[in-house]
Amino acid sequence: MRSGGRGRPRLRLGERGLLQTPTPSNRRLLPRAQLLPLLLLALAVASAFYTVWSGWHHHRNEELPPGRDLRGQLIGSLPEARMRRVVGQLDPQRLWNTYLRPLLVVRTPGSPGNLQVRKFLEATLRTLTAGWHVELDAFTASTPVGLLDFANVVATLDPGAARHLTLACHYDSKLFPSESAPFVGATDSAVPCALLLELAQALDQELSRAKDQAAPVTLQLLFLDGEEALKEWGPKDSLYGSRHLAQFMESAPHSPGPTRIQAIELFVLLDLLGAPHPTFYSHFPHTARWFHRLKSIEKRLHRLNLLQSHPQEVMYFQPGEPPGSVEDDHIPFLRRGVPVLHLISTPFPSVWHTPDDSEANLHPATVHNLSRILAVFLAEYLGL
């Protein structure tokens, strides 16, 4: 990912050549007798336009997929006993030893470590009793270091469900010169991958039951390849996997609806997680309600004394504007109209893109706290 500005500044009035102030020689004043009928006509046209627009706008809101703008009001909060049960199903040792440590290898695109991690992700997902549909989105792309093979792992609990809650992360690690110290990207993004695996395992029975009951919203997990730039970050050297997958999903049919990308009700991207004292901000107004849901869960878990090394009610999910925009794997989906909730620590961890982004510098309490917050979020969102 790359931290950036807020995009190209908008042109001021007059800079496009359409709103220039006319010169005095071009101005003509109309007599009042002629001006009144023109004003009445303009008022009538504006009134008719507003009537048509308001009817269209109301109809458009009614046609929005429920989760894309209206569904947040329908989701309740878990009672205390249920929250404790969900948190109790998480296994910190399993998350760390079974899921995280196998990911802490050099896994640049096309490398043996990348293939090893990808096969581990596929095998782990296929062992879950809920019976996930696991696909491989494999492709070859031209890069600054030559042609490389990439592969996204796409796991969908119930492919026949109308809508998807999609959680995503990237599993590749950044390429550094061969003489550099090994870079295993613990926060970037081994921990996010391990979190998704632990969530799927901890909620395995509930997810299996939801699938058997044909719930209208299902869980989807994306493990994306090629997020990192291979030379220098740019539109053609970054986000290889997410660009390919978003383009594929845009045209791939989805049986209950038009396309697979339109089935995504909410796209939650996890990145740069696991360092101590992370702070998250709401990046997009349309998904602010879900950000506030996470903030509420953090508060509730704190009050129940279910978070470790967490002295204040709200430490992670901060109010206000983010420090800046971030280019990450959500961009190809965002550009296609998918609602995005971006869970990335900003400012970035101090170990970002250094060999110090390793297991030794992770903060276990923070990792486990985030797993608990996300588990409750999934249980509430999916009604588990």
230-243 pLDDT, tens digit each = 999 999 999 999 99
User: Rounded to two decimals, what is the model's pTM?
Assistant: 0.83
Q: How many Å apart are CA 78 and CA 380, to the nearest integer?
A: 6
Placement of tokens 């490389």 in the chain: 148
pLDDT score recorded for residue 113: 98
pLDDT of residue 114: 98
Sign of CA dihedral 289, 294, 299, 301: positive
Residues 319, 42: Cα–Cα separation, whole Å: 44
Residues 6+ apart with CB under 8 A from 110: 148, 149, 150
pLDDT reported for residue 2: 73
The whole-number pLDDT of residue 64 equals: 39
d(CA 261, CA 257): 10
The residues annotated with a catalytic role in the active site are 227, 271
Residue segments in the chain with a per-residue pLDDT below the cut of 70: 4-73
Cβ atoms of 186 and 358 within 8 Å: the answer is: yes
Please tell me what DSSP assigns to residue 362.
-
**Torsion of Cα atoms, 119 then 1 then 261 then 121, to 10°:** 10
| Pick from 334, 113, 345: nearest CA to 239 | 334
Picking from 261, 98, 147, 129, the residue whose alpha carbon sits closest to that of residue 205 is 129
Please give the pLDDT value at position 11: 26
Give the chain's radius of gyration (CA, Å): 24
pLDDT at 371 (0 to 100): 98
C-beta neighbour count of 382 within 10 angstroms = 18
Query: DSSP secondary structure string, 259-284?
Result: ETTTTEEEEEEEES--SSS--B----
User: What is the spatial distance between Cα 217 and Cα 222, in angstroms, rounded to a whole number?
Assistant: 16
